[in-house]
Amino acid sequence: MELDIPHSAIYAEGASADSPALNQFMAARGIHVLSWFYPVIPLARQEALLPTIRPDELPILHCESADETRKLGYVDFTNPKAGELCRRWWKRRLDLGVAGSMVDFGDRVPEDAVFDNGRRGDEMHNFYSYAYDRTCSEVFREKRGADFILFARAAAPGTQKWAAQFAGDHPANFAGLQAVLTGALNLCACGFSTWGSDLGGFLGWPEPAVYRRWTQFACFSPLMRCHGRNPREPWHYGQAAVANYKYFAWVRENLLDYIYSAAAVAHETGVPIMRSMAVAFPRELSLADIKDQYLFGNDLLVAPVVAEDKARNIAFPRGEWTDLWDGKTTSGPANFEIAVPLDSIPVYLKQGAIVPVRLDPTLTWGASMAQGRVRALVVTPPKKDEEAPLPDHQGQSAFVRSQPTAAGFALTLKNLSAADYLLVYGAAVSTVKVDGKALPKLTGARFISMPTGWEADPAVNRFVVRLPASQARRREVEVETQPKAGTNE
């Protein structure tokens, strides 16, 4: 709280997750408690949880050796009683308010095991995790509806329906970060969308530079989560790491509506949040083997720095790409080497981008929103018709349609009456109309108290439009533009 770093959940292993004091303290501050589970409930514990069930009917995984069965204590999730066993195991924590869990292990099934469904361990190796994840998900859903998160280590085809994934126990160095990025892009290309890594790595102490680069990458991952065998709070890595973490934690808050929208698209279509270049640009074969950049959602090109470098190459696909941080535009296809200072990550807006954001009242990326926030749409001029389904503040079905016009572009906003600002990147604005009425051009307006109208924001090469207040379900915005400057050819 003192550092003003936003936080939504805390991970608690062991007895701490059973603490009423911890759960009450966190609930009062709007922070969810997440716990840990792995698929071992020893026979004696199973007997205590299911006292009316005969010992030979308990959902314990049977191996060829009875001693091995007792020693392992694996839950047989193909047994119909496994659901009730897990329901009773989780009851105390769910009653306290635990809102999710790491669903650990599930990838070490003995080959000689015999399951309740008659299959052996060598047949069930992959699909043990499916039954495991499904059972845990069903137990949480009974108690919390859709308000929970599970993130699993093991996976099989279809487990993405029940749980997100985490990357596993990677070393806390640049080699670990590189491996995490490779694994993420491969996994997402296989249809697993909701994924995250242990920020900073799991094994060992990361160098401050590794920690900062991993923080930046985690910000632009489907899940952003610190975890490790050693402490991973930013204050263990110096003041620069704290400043870096705070900035990107607030950037993450800026982008939550956009990430939520991308997750909804993934749920409906299977197109993942994080998209390798081969997935995102299948017609540009020259991009297919690029392994260190990706599209995050539909509109953000991300090129994380995963080595101790001061510069890196970026391959830009066809179209116009606008730097999210300074508003400068690059035309693709092209390859450029750019400087990569340690406090930043290269991120570019796609041509025709539609990105819903929440910003502090000064409209500054990464600034604290503890004292207030406003809603805005970040857009770039489209080359073709674009449409983005978006959440609105009341959870209604909403969308933005963007269309090129002879003089610039037009936007249709449906059920987005809460949008306060339009932030135009990648173009020089000359006129703005809302529902046919021209807005005044302003000079020297402070964005924090900006009246209806529009004005250039030269510090970051964008134009800021303060939209008029409206409760209309549908609004039409027309933007006329001039030839843009600051293009790298």
Q: How confident is the model at residue 464 (pLDDT cuts 50, 70, 90)?
A: very high
End-to-end CA distance of the chain: give it in Å, rounded: 46
DSSP per position, 248-307: HHHHHHHTHHHHHHHHHHHHHH---SEEEHHHH-TT-GGGTT--S-EEETTTEEE----S
The answer to whether 166 touches 197, Cβ cutoff 8 Å, is yes
25 lies in some domain:
yes
pLDDT computed for residue 474 by the predictor: 92
User: Do 338 and 298 belong together in one domain?
Assistant: yes
Domain hosting residue 100, numbered range: 9-261
Residue 395 has pLDDT above 70, yes or no: no
pLDDT at 22 > cutoff 90: yes
**Do 405 and 359 fall within a single domain?**
yes
**Would you state the pLDDT for residue 431?**
97
Q: Specify the pLDDT at position 136.
A: 98
Specify burial of residue 357 (Cβ count, 10 A radius: 0-12, 13-18, 19+): buried
* Whether residue 443 sits in one domain with residue 359: yes
Residue 82 and residue 221 in one domain: yes
Is 438 inside any structural domain? yes
Q: DSSP state, 155?
A: -
Cβ contacts of 145 within 8 Å, gap of 6 or more? none
What integer pLDDT is reported at residue 72 of this predicted model? 86
pLDDT, averaged across the chain: 94
pLDDT at 209: 97
Q: Which of 261, 288, 315 is the last residue of a domain?
A: 261
Predicted local confidence at residue 487, as pLDDT: 45
Angle at 479 between CA 399 and CA 254, to 5 degrees: 50
Q: Are residues 303 and 358 in the same domain?
A: no
pLDDT exceeds 50 at position 489 = no
Q: What is the pLDDT of residue 488?
A: 46
Same structural domain, 122 and 175: yes
Q: Looking at residues 192-196, what average pLDDT do you find?
A: 96
Please give the average per-residue pLDDT across 109-116, as a whole number: 93
Whether 2 is in a domain gets the answer no
The whole-number pLDDT of residue 392 equals 55
Gyration radius from the chain CA atoms? 25
Percent of the chain beyond pLDDT 90?
88
- Tell me what pLDDT residue 239 has: 96
What pLDDT is stored for residue 485 in this prediction? 52
Give 114-141 pLDDT, tens digit per residue.
999 999 999 998 899 999 999 999 999 9
Tens-digit pLDDT profile for residues 275-290: 999 999 999 999 999 9
- Domain containing residue 382: CATH number: 2.60.40.1180
Domain co-membership, 250 together with 172? yes
Phi and psi based region of residue 238 (left: phi greater than 0; alpha: psi -120 to 50; beta: remaining): left
Residues 332 and 362 in one domain: no
Residue 4 lies in a domain: no
Among 228, 261, 294, give the residue marking a domain's end. 261
Backbone angles phi, psi at 14, to 5 degrees: 70, -145
pLDDT at position 420 over 60: yes
**Pairing of β 347-350 and β 300-302:** antiparallel
Give the per-residue pLDDT at 69: 82
CATH number for the domain spanning 253: value is 3.20.20.80
Indicate the Cα dihedral angle 223, 224, 226, 229, nearest 10°.
30
Would you state the pLDDT for residue 67? Answer: 82
Give the pLDDT confidence of 220-236 residue by residue, as tens digits.
999 999 999 999 999 99
Same domain? For 243 and 288 the reply is no
Does some domain include residue 411? yes
Mean pLDDT value of segment 424-438: 97
Is pLDDT at 378 greater than 50 in this prediction? Answer: yes
Q: Is 3 within the bounds of a domain?
A: no
Q: Copy the structure tokens of residue 205.
A: 């102490």
**DSSP tag of 450:** P
Number of domains comprising the chain: 3
- Indicate if 308 and 394 belong to the same structural domain: no
208 lies in a domain? yes
List, for residues 50-62, the tens digit of each pLDDT value. 999 999 999 999 9
Query: Domain check: are 112 and 253 in the same one?
Result: yes
Find the mean pLDDT for residues 266-274.
94
Are 209 and 76 contained in the same domain?
yes
- Tell me if 267 is assigned to some domain: no
Q: Residues 73, 74, 75, CA angle at the centre, nearest 5°?
A: 115
Residue 110 has pLDDT above 80, yes or no: yes
Domain end position, chosen among 261, 286, 311: 261
Sheet holding 347-350, edge to edge: 274-276, 294-296, 300-302, 347-350, 311-323, 329-339, 487-488
Summarize pLDDT for 317-336 with one digit per residue, the tens.
999 999 999 999 999 999 99
pLDDT at 394: 60
What pLDDT, on the 0 to 100 scale, is given for residue 449?
Answer: 84
Mean pLDDT in residue range 369-392: 92
Question: Residues 27-38, buried b or exposed e (16+ Cβ, 10 A)?
Answer: eeeeebbbbebb
